[in-house]
Chain A
């Protein structure tokens, strides 16, 4: 590339680039090129040399980034590791839920029998059943925690997908190497999460113990309104 290339010529190239559906905002490239051109001073030859060095360094940087993305297996992360991890976590939730309801079936059967035993024994059964119900709340809490992790994985999957689409050739699998064009996201790719509204921002699920208010603290806060 020559430093003598006129901005109009650059823009023509960018229009062409845009028509090829490359995932780069042409305005960003204009900004980059103009900033590079503004950064060079001196006669025409030194401008040529300096600009060539800058562009060469930029190209090397992009190639290095593509090589690094390729070496970490970003495509495999997006298409295999993250979906597999989400699937495994969902299986954990399902298994825990199934087991919990088995426990419920058993204790409800025992509770039904308590009507046929002495009152003292019935009380013991009722107390034991209560403790079992309380303990089984773990499934609700763990389920919510795992759902949070799955949502985080989906966000990572989306970001990795966006990175793959941006760098295109060289990091995409052979079947996907149609150049760095903005292809439609595959059906399995998660959509960009919608911006949360004020109420959505209050839905964070279970907190870690050090961040959670206790029931006593909540009661005190509620009482402060009276």
Chain B
């Protein structure tokens, strides 16, 4: 796996500004400063189609477009289908995890989470940094 480019653009998607700020700050502590935000799946999808990102970190429970629907749209898009996609969500039932996996999620973090978990998943999805 190639070295991780810490300047790669990362899109974080959540309808709670608090969570956006937490993830942004934790990413900053890990050295990832090129972070953009969206507050639902449809806004995120537009940003993904307008600009090249290296990773999506998305909540699930959002309106009008959920994180799961965003994931499905990403995997159905020929230009975006290989994009690493981490779900960070309070949805912690097995059927949610299975649905996300079947839709092509790269990894899955359940809220509340800690910084070590986030870092571990980034390493799993992107490689060591």
Contact = CB atoms under 8 A, between A and B. Distances in A.
Contacts of B94: 213, 221
A213 B18 contact: no
Contacts of A205: 61, 90-91
Contacts of B14: 140
Contacts of A57: none
B91 A202 contact: yes
Contacts, number: 106
Interface stretch (B5-13, B77-85, B105-113): B105-113
Contact of B21 (A104, A144, A214): A104
Interface in A177-226: 199, 202-207, 211-215, 218, 221-222, 225
Interface string B92-129: 11111111010000011111111101000000000000
A199 B69 contact: yes
Contacts of B90: 140-141, 144, 205-207
A97 B29 CA distance: 22
B40 to A, nearest CB: 12
B17 A97 contact: yes
Interface string A126-153: 1001100110111111011000000000
Nearest to A201: B95
Contacts of A144: 16, 61, 90
B36 to A, nearest CB: 18
A225 B25 contact: no
Interface residues of B, number: 36
B19 interface: yes
B115 A199 contact: no
B121 to A, nearest CB: 9
A204 B17 contact: no
B23 to A, nearest CB: 9
Contact of A137 (B66, B91, B101, B112): B112
Interface string A95-121: 001001100100010010000000000
A148 to B, nearest CB: 10
Contacts of A126: 29
Most A CB contacts (10 A, CB to CB) among B66, B101, B110 go to B110
Contacts of A137: 18-19, 22, 111-113
23 contacts: A97-B16, A97-B18, A104-B25, A133-B25, A133-B26, A136-B22, A137-B19, A137-B22, A140-B18, A140-B22, A141-B111, A143-B18, A144-B90, A203-B61, A205-B61, A205-B90, A205-B91, A206-B92, A211-B92, A212-B92, A213-B94, A213-B110, A218-B108
Interface of B: 14, 16-19, 21-22, 25-26, 29, 60-61, 66, 68-69, 90-99, 101, 107-115, 117
